[in-house]
Amino acid sequence: MTNQKRVCIILGTRPEAIKLAPVIQVFQKSSSFESQVILTGQHREMVEQVMQLFNIKANYDLEIMQVQQSLNDITCRSLQGLEALFKEKKPDLVVVQGDTTTAFAAALAAFYQKIPIGHVEAGLRTDDILNPYPEEANRRLISQITQLHFAPTPWAVENLHRSGVLGEIHMTGNTVIDALLNVAATQAVCNVPGLDWDSYRVLLATVHRRENWGEPLLAIAQGFLQILDKFPDTALLLPLHRNPTVRVPLQELLGNHPRIFLTDPLDYGELVGAIGRSHLLLTDSGGLQEEAPSLGKPVLVLRDTTERPEAVAAGTAKLVGTRSENIFANAAELLSDPDAYEAMANAINPFGDGHAAERILQIVQNYLGVSSETST
């Protein structure tokens, strides 16, 4: 179609791939758009798993990933690769997601070419520029040059208004709920050698945040051990991040415990299956704070700040920090008090209804002035 608009959707990490998969799918089904999926390569294997799960293929891959790459490396190589592509493709809109270095570099590259930017999951804030680092700065910087802000919640909308950003602000819900419900409907499973899901209350944990490296990571691990010591009917499933800064200390501290199951990163289907079978989650992940409540699982957040205060306010998540005694006390309450557990498990998820990507498509159609007709 000669009147199609060209939209470039940029991603580099697994969370971006998960949250952009529903967006990519609706744009690819629309006859109004020619969509181009561009990978920076900030992550490699974990992104490929998600792309396969959602049956999505990339049009271009910058392949920037290097061993022990720095934030400068990621930013510079992404800017250079995207400059050439944007000059060649001349997109009508560039879509980025969240607060990764890929998202920041892609938004900046689009701005340098005077291409409008659509920011999925806009408006998250901790109001601490170094926590999480560099994400809080990335999302604030992206907001300053964005034309279409796709905010997941009323809280995020208010953050954007308070920030005085330019561009249109739209509340869409979070696309991660679209992705989660899509995968959960397939009855996803997670089989871990040696782990009998029916014999234990399984605690699903993930730890990877840069601000938790070092002493906080060791304290978190001690908190896990205290929980397992107090509650012999529990087991811990801990998929390990590939970064050796995180992976090695956790292996050394937890690897010999008979009820701790350390695995490689789960693919997204397995992760959804694990959330569904687990009793509760302990995590420093942002996405899991959004996903677990949709499946009725309480979340203890292993951070001192969160850019998702909606989850805390709704009662689906609790901010417990990284001190071992706090982690133990809060987990012990949920494992000992059925009323406390049910209150969190049954709280309403504030992050959306599974139709965020459809709303984003409609907003972009209106912004670019194209027909809403779609093809099947």
Catalytic residues: 99, 121, 135, 208, 210, 241
Task: Using the structure block, give the residue that is written with the tokens 């392949």.
Answer: 63
Q: Rounded to whole angstroms, how far apart are CA atoms 186 and 181?
A: 9
Closest to 63 measured CA to CA, from 40, 45, 84:
40
Q: What are phi and psi of 27, to 5 degrees?
A: -70, -35
Strand extents, DSSP E, 221-279: 234-239, 260-263
DSSP 139-191: HHHHHHT-SEEEESSHHHHHHHHHHT--SEEEE---HHHHHHHHHHTTT----
Q: How far is CA 185 from the centre of its chain?
A: 20
> Which amino acid would we find at residue 173?
G
Please state the φ and ψ torsions of residue 75, each to the nearest 5 degrees.
-65, -50
Query: What gap in Å lies between CA 329 and CA 141, rounded to an integer?
Result: 37
Q: Are 60 and 31 in contact (CB under 8 A)?
A: no
Query: CA 244, CA 278: separation in Å to the nearest integer?
Result: 26
**Token pair belonging to 284:** 């420093």
